[in-house]
Amino acid sequence: MNMSMPRWERKARIFLCVLGLCLSVYALHVELSKERNPDYRAMCDLGESVSCSKVFTSRWGRGFGLVQFFFDQDSLLNQPNSVLGIIFYTLQMGSGLSLSKKAAMFLVFSSWVSVAGSLYLASILAFVLGDFCMVCVSTYIVNFALLFTNLKRRGAIEGLKEKAG
């Protein structure tokens, strides 16, 4: 069976994944720069309550603030959230090349996980840290847009398979 996805879906996925990768790489750069030099001021640090570096270097900036309860803070498993983002967007881009039903299910499942993580981190941002992080919020928007794109793809693949079957 020869299937193809709408052109918008491919373009949207590439745009969103590249944007997510850029945001994640920038977040990692800010975190590492701040760790090396406490006086480092990132472009996204606009004020006391609008500071991405404050957020990235908080305990919630690594392993969602949860991994440290199960492993040492210096554990290889306690990676910056930005590293997890780099992995996620790379997997989204790669899996998006496949038009299989399994790939579509993986894309949707991993998007739901990313949206759950986004909601969790957004609540930490608003209610615990009391900060506004432009990079973080941009990442949350990318994650929601990827979920929408992936749900559309899954629906299209299921529709095409039903018509063919």
The CATH number covering residue 124 comes to: 1.20.1440.130
**Tokens 């930005």, located at residue:** 82
Q: Is residue 72 domain-resident?
A: yes
Q: Does the predicted TM-score (pTM) go above 0.85?
A: yes
Q: What is the mean pLDDT of the chain?
A: 90
For residue 41, what are its two tokens? Answer: 């001021």
The answer as to whether 131 is a domain residue is yes
Task: Specify if 71 maps to a domain.
Answer: yes
Q: Please give the share of the chain, as a percent, with pLDDT higher than 90.
A: 71
CA separation, residue 146 to residues 39, 97, 119, 128, 151 (Å): 35, 14, 15, 27, 8
For residue 1, tell me if it sits in a domain. Answer: no
Query: What are the per-10-residue average pLDDT scores of the chain (165 residues)?
Result: 68 96 97 93 91 92 88 85 97 92 94 97 94 96 97 80 62
The total number of structural domains in the chain stands at 1
Task: Give the structural domain span for 126.
Answer: 7-164
For 35-78, the pLDDT digits (tens) are: 999 999 999 999 888 999 999 999 999 988 888 888 887 888 88
